[in-house]
Structure 1
Amino acid sequence: MAKFRMDPDQKRYFCTLCSAGTITQAARALYLSRQGLSKSMKRLEKQLDAQLFVRGKKGVELTRAGRILLRYLHEEDRLWDTCVADIREIGKTERELVRIGLLSMYVGYREKRELLASFQDDARIGIEVVDGDHDAFWEAIAAGEMEFAFSVKPPDDLGIPSIKLCDDSLSILLSAGDPLAAKKCIDFETDLLGKTVIQTSPYKGRLYETAFRNYGINVELLIHDKNLMLAQVSTSEDCFIIQTEYAKALVTDQVCMRPLVNAPIEMDSMFVFSPALRPMARMVAKKLLAPYGKQGELDAFFDRAEH
């Protein structure tokens, strides 16, 4: 005999008839005709090859086969309720992964360690810090594969919201023995002619290389960080153009920092995030935004989006 499974309508009709006790009342509750309900139940009995009801003047009564079927349907409902409850309970205790992109020029190693440590005892959250570049972060956020990143402002056509963290001017790192180190500030248009400037990401290399070359400045690319490869071995004959906040952490006895003036480029620190930021991710984001006093702007964005 071929396998038979009751469809949802058959289950609903059968259980309603068992509860109502009469074809007329069950049909009224189901918004069916009496003939339609009777036909459906006869078809069910034929498929099961068993009589489910005894029809009398006062209504219908279940046969032994009908009572067995009803018991199993009730058991099926109970098992489903247990299944849903178990799934929801796991959802309360299972760690929710939050993927975030943190570039070292915005968030240092100490801050990353503190962030991970602050949530390590929270059974609800697992944090994955992702390395990458601005383009990779924007692409991952737009695809729903990353919650947020500290980056620069994404192109408007990507439709990714962002919050400005601070006005971050550009500085230059160079060797303490470099003649330019004696100056209070470095003029981009005149002092860097013939120099080799090291960029720290493919994104900025693509964005600024043409502008630099138009001023007669050579550009090289350093992708891996490790404190900018120990400031490119104490910036021997090279120099970095870099955001001021990050540059401060790299100053040593061998490496000095000077403000950069007349540069044809600007750089602001931005918090770039998914428009559908999940509640757990929002909690992590607000912790990172706290030093900037920007938690309120994040809340305001979602308040507007939700109304």
Structure 2
Amino acid sequence: MGVETVAKFRMDTDQKRYFCTLSSAGNITQAANALYLSRQGLSKSMRALEAQIGAQLFVRGKKGVELTEAGRILLRYLREEDRLWDACVADVRDAEKTAPELVRVGLLSMYVGYDQKRDLLASFQGDASIRIEIVDGDHDAFWDAIAEGEMEFAFTVKPPDDFGLPTIKLCDDSLSVLLSVNDPLARKKCIDFETDLRGKTVIQTSPYKGRLYETAFRNHGIKCELLLHDKNLMLAQVSTSEDCFIIQTHYAKALVTDQVCMRLLVNAPIEMDSMFVFRPDLSETGRVVARRLLERYGKEAELDAFFETGEEQAECGREIVYNSCHD
């Protein structure tokens, strides 16, 4: 003998509203008026509900309609459902209030080493209100992400003026060349971009730098190849060949080994100052993280001054509006 299956049924919003209103009023006419329905429409809706749920929910009484036992059970569960929904909304809002604020930071390894990245994450590890995400990408991607509000700030180079992003100059990064200690150029204190690199192959790690240098390289007869930004791969490439690897001084120092030396690049027609690029509406939490990174450069005051100036202008604007309203 087969087992009888009951089709699943869920009350829609109108059915719940009609049922609860009639349960509260106990009178079809009063409930229909409150719902802006006809008596016939409300009665038809409740009969359809009883048919769908498979139980009689109301009986006619001396003073109107009364709930049956099945109706009282349904009403109790609907009220419990409302209570659970209110509790759910409250919990969700509490979770949102206590959720850590995400601060996305773009840090190019040529400016900030792995130790600094680890130190940054460790310094906020005990702060449940902040979650830091470190992104290692390219200059163009950083500028776009900051301009679109998807990243708080980045250590990069100065973006084009049309981005309209505020910047703080961190330091003048002279370009350096990493090369094998067996390379004849290793005996020189400095390597001249215009003469010593002619006919050489220069290894790059940044697509942005490759685009930036492309014209200068071509004009001086220098071939450029892109190398994935991996420390071991970079060192192996340099230490086993006579090709050169150009990079900012700050990061180059961390890559010097017994097989790889570093020489200052002179006469390079390229400027690559390191910049701190940030959102003009950087949040308070973002400022806390930014100040931590700027400490080693002594640039915290410049960041504070930018926002103090903006706040003073905003306050001045509010005063002008206030005074004009009272003139």
Give the TM-score taking structure 2 as reference length: 0.66
2:38 pairs with 1:54: no
Q: Return the alpha-carbon distance in structure 2 between the equivalents of residues 2 and 196 of structure 1.
A: 74
Aligned-residue Cα RMSD (Å) equals 4.6
Secondary structure of 1:229's match?
A: helix
In structure 2, the partner of 1:44 is: 49
In structure 1, the partner of 2:113 is: 108
| Contact persistence 1:174–1:256 (CA under 8 A) | yes
Secondary structure of 1:223's match?
A: coil
- 1:137–1:196: structure 2 CA closer, same or farther, 3 Å change rule? same
Q: Return the alpha-carbon distance in structure 1 between the equivalents of residues 16 and 55 of structure 2.
A: 16
Q: Cα offset for 1:211?
A: 2.7
Within a 5 Å distance, the mapping from 1:16-31 to structure 2 comes to: 16-31=21-36
- 1:144–1:163: structure 2 CA closer, same or farther, 3 Å change rule? closer
**1:59-100 superposed Cα distances (whole Å, 9 cap, x missing partner):** 432222211110111122233334444555555666676654
Which of 71, 79, 83 is the aligned partner of 2:76? 71
Q: Cα offset for 1:105?
A: 1.2
Q: Cα offset for 1:41?
A: 1.8
- 1:79–1:255: structure 2 CA closer, same or farther, 3 Å change rule? same
Q: Return the alpha-carbon distance in structure 2 between the equivalents of residues 15 and 283 of structure 1.
A: 52
**1:131-169 superposed Cα distances (whole Å, 9 cap, x missing partner):** 444466678889998776433466899x8x744232644
Which of 77, 80, 83 is the aligned partner of 2:85? 80
Secondary structure of 1:32's match?
A: coil
In structure 1, the partner of 2:11 is: 6
Whichever residue aligns with residue 71 of structure 2, its letter is G
Whichever residue aligns with residue 165 of structure 1, its letter is I
Secondary structure of 2:11's match?
A: coil
2:168 pairs with 1:165: yes
Which of 228, 235, 240 is the aligned partner of 1:229? 235
Which of 118, 133, 139 is the aligned partner of 2:123? 118
Within a 5 Å distance, the mapping from 1:119-268 to structure 2 comes to: 119-134=124-139, 149-152=154-157, 162-166=165-169, 168-173=172-177, 178=186, 180-181=188-189, 188-190=193-195, 192-226=197-231, 229=235, 232-233=238-239, 239-247=244-252, 255=261, 257-258=263-264, 260-261=266-267, 263=269, 265-268=270-273
Whichever residue aligns with residue 172 of structure 1, its letter is S
| Contact persistence 2:107–2:136 (CA under 8 A) | yes
Q: Return the alpha-carbon distance in structure 2 between the equivalents of residues 21 and 268 of structure 1.
A: 79
| Contact persistence 1:165–1:270 (CA under 8 A) | yes
In structure 1, the partner of 2:321 is: none
**1:9-31 superposed Cα distances (whole Å, 9 cap, x missing partner):** 11111112222333344334333
Equivalent pairs counted in the alignment come to 296
- 1:282–1:218: structure 2 CA closer, same or farther, 3 Å change rule? same
- 1:174–1:39: structure 2 CA closer, same or farther, 3 Å change rule? closer
- Identity rate of aligned residues, in percent? 68
| Contact persistence 2:167–2:278 (CA under 8 A) | no
Q: Cα offset for 1:117?
A: 0.6
- 1:285–1:57: structure 2 CA closer, same or farther, 3 Å change rule? farther
Structure 2 gaps of 5+ residues are: 1-5, 315-327
